[in-house]
A and B are shown apart, each in its own frame.
Chain A
Amino acid sequence: EDKVVQSPLSLVVHEGDTVTLNCSYEVTNFRSLLWYKQEKKAPTFLFMLTSSGIEKKSGRLSSILDKKELSSILNITATQTGDSAIYLCAVEVASNTGKLIFGQGTTLQVKP
């Protein structure tokens, strides 16, 4: 059965800290891995990773995929209270449908 596992499930840090969120997967046919940020409502897209070892960066957020280890990390540097959210990792299985399999999410709380 295809599976995506995130760790830790929750994390509390102080503003300015750096955090690393982990995602590992076991799927039959991997196509891509996506990170989303979920605040009160819609998961909003952060990164899509398809190639191993290539870092994607957006401001203080960065992510990298390791296909050998079947995992990805999401780094957030100099955290701010606005980074508080649930971070979702999802894997797209190779098919013609684009179906996503989600992990359970990491809840990040950034305290002032």
Chain B
Amino acid sequence: EPEVTQTPSHQVTQMGQEVILRCVPISNHLYFYWYRQILGQKVEFLVSFYNNEISEKSEIFDDQFSVERPDGSNFTLKIRSTKLEDSAMYFCASSESVRRGYSNQPQHFGDGTRLSIL
């Protein structure tokens, strides 16, 4: 069964450094997402991406964050200057479609990247 893959599985970075988290969504999917889960807390939406642009972002997704689809397969999340509070598990997800008025296709999640900021 096709799956979403994320690399690396664990990233340790010094505070203030830039970090790039990588995702390969399922190949025929068109909608891409990043979520994060701080230890012991809920999974939180960060950003959605469609047709090479951000379609929605949360309050968490400030100017330090950016997303990119540099080629036909990868989807990346960049944090420009990491803070201690960015330490979390970051999940990438993708879905085939989001259609008004119809039953949508579910989002499928990758295994996550655990980001630890020192």
Which residues of B approach A to under 8 Å, CB–CB? 3-4, 31, 33, 35, 41-45, 48, 50, 55-56, 91, 95, 98, 100, 103-104, 106-112
Contact = CB atoms under 8 A, between A and B. Distances in A.
Contacts of B112: 41-42
Interface size bracket, A side: 20 to 34
Interface residues of chain A: helix, strand, loop or mixed (majority): strand
A42 B91 contact: yes
26 contacts: A34-B106, A34-B107, A36-B109, A41-B111, A41-B112, A42-B4, A42-B111, A42-B112, A43-B109, A45-B107, A48-B103, A48-B104, A92-B104, A96-B55, A96-B100, A97-B98, A98-B31, A98-B48, A98-B95, A98-B98, A98-B104, A98-B107, A99-B45, A102-B35, A102-B43, A104-B41
Interface of A: 31-32, 34, 36, 41-45, 48, 50, 88, 90, 92, 95-105
Contacts, number: 65
Given A97-B50, A101-B45, 8 more contacts: A42-B110, A45-B107, A97-B31, A97-B56, A98-B33, A98-B48, A100-B33, A102-B35
Nearest to B103: A50
Nearest to A31: B104
Nearest 4 A-B pairs (CB), nearest first? Answer: A41-B111, A97-B56, A102-B43, A98-B98
B44 A99 contact: no
B108 A45 contact: yes
